[in-house]
Amino acid sequence: MRWEDLKVYNQLTKEELKPAFKDFTKNVADNLKPFGFFLHGRKLIPVSNDLLHVIHLDTRGS
């Protein structure tokens, strides 16, 4: 890899943060849907009668 190929990511402004988080959450939920997960608020929960798995998308702090 050459240094010219490296990408630089800048911090999002406060106005860009909420739509970016929604897009990120939707992308994660769409990719986990084949494994039985569904999005419930900020949590991804699979449908299962045996075991409870919860993925909580936390945005507190850095």
pLDDT level of residue 60 (50, 70, 90 thresholds): confident
Yes or no: say if 53 and 45 are a contact pair by the CB < 8 Å rule: yes
Residues 6+ away with beta carbon under 8 Å from 42 = 25, 56, 57, 58, 59
Quick one: average pLDDT of 45-55? 84
Question: What would the pLDDT profile of 3-48 be if each residue is shown by its tens digit?
Answer: 778 888 888 888 888 898 899 899 999 999 999 898 988 899 988 7
**Residue type for 11, please?**
Q
Predicted confidence at residue 62, as pLDDT, reads 60
Phi, psi of 31 (to 5 degrees): -75, -25
Which pLDDT score is estimated for 61? 64
Tell me what pLDDT residue 30 has: 94
